[in-house]
Amino acid sequence: MDCQPSACGAVTPVENGCLVCKVRLVSVCASLSVDELQMLESLAHETVFPAKETLFTQGQPAHSVYNITAGVVRLYKLLPDGRRQIVGFALPGDFLGLAMRDSFGFSADAIDTVTACAFSRSAYSALVEEKPHLLRRLHQFATHELTLAQEQMMLLGRRTAEEKLICFLLAMQERWAKLRKSSVTVPLPMSRQDIADFLGLTIETVSRTFTKLTKDKTILIVPDGVRLMNLDHMVRVSA
């Protein structure tokens, strides 16, 4: 099985064309015409990462960029003493490598089974050079990420534990809603520790807050997720 130097998942040619790709319309690829899509398809390596496998590590040379097509990826930074901050969760349709820089600014690993379209950065870079509307789309994605990051700064700096968790659950619900039909049941494939490291809390505080929200009847904990039982209240808190 072929392996990129920087990305060792199971690599296969793109099984079904980009045209039938489930996430095309929400991904950067939506900016491409049918012709251009075929060009892209020839550059793509569909890659499967089993749960817990690393896609890439902070500081590592960025040989590839990735378009997530299924599964959830955690993106994080580490301090030398082991403290971890998760800077985001990448969902299907998200693009990793927006900066197109020589090395990655954060680490990424698969939370559940992840499939991604991997592209060699140099080839992708060359394509972007030729297609300004692809660059425009990348820029839209980057500024969207920047907006999310600024909202996360507000959350990390100025919100209480309960507010943090409520905002997180609402945000996840909205993100999943864009990918499939909306639902008050929010999948949470990541661990409590992941949630804690995203919200700037400890695992114990996250667990206690989940318990409190459950007693409040604000949420209902279900296998691999939660059901939001009082959206009004949650929206009011997230304000």
Partner DNA sequence: CGAAGAATTGAGTCCTATCAAATGCCGTGG
Partner DNA sequence: CCACGGCATTTGATAGGACTCAATTCTTCG
**Region binding DNA by CB under 7 A among candidate stretches 15-23, 72-80, 175-183, 189-197:** 189-197
Query: Are 123 and 66 spatial neighbours (Cβ–Cβ below 8 Å)?
Result: no
Find which of a copy of itself, DNA, none residue 197 binds, CB within 5 to 8 Å per kind: a copy of itself
Of 16, 35, 42, 157, the one binding a copy of itself (CB under 8 A) is: 157
User: Which tokens in the block code for residue 142?
Assistant: 């980057």
Site string for DNA, 146-175 (x = CB under 7 A): --------------xxx-------------
Find which of DNA, a copy of itself, none residue 221 binds, CB within 5 to 8 Å per kind: DNA
When the beta carbons of 18 and 219 are compared against DNA, the nearer one is: 219
When the beta carbons of 145 and 163 are compared against DNA, the nearer one is: 163
Q: Which residues contact 131 (CB under 8 A, 6 or more apart)?
A: 31, 32, 36
Beta bridge partner(s), residue 186: 226
Q: Alpha-carbon distance 169 to 161, whole Å?
A: 12
Of 32, 68, 72, 138, the one binding a copy of itself (CB under 8 A) is: 138
Angle between helices 132-158 and 161-179 (to 10 degrees): 160
User: Which tokens in the block code for residue 217?
Assistant: 């009847």
CB of 68 to a copy of itself, least distance (A): 17
CA distances for 223 relative to 37, 187, 191, 197, 226, angstroms: 38, 9, 12, 21, 8
Nearest to 116 by CA among 62, 74, 72: 72
Position 233 contacts a copy of itself (CB under 8 A): no
Of 103, 178, 211, 222, the one binding DNA (CB under 7 A) is: 211
Q: Which residues of this chain interact with DNA, rule CB under 7 A? A: 160-162, 191-193, 200-208, 210-211, 221, 223
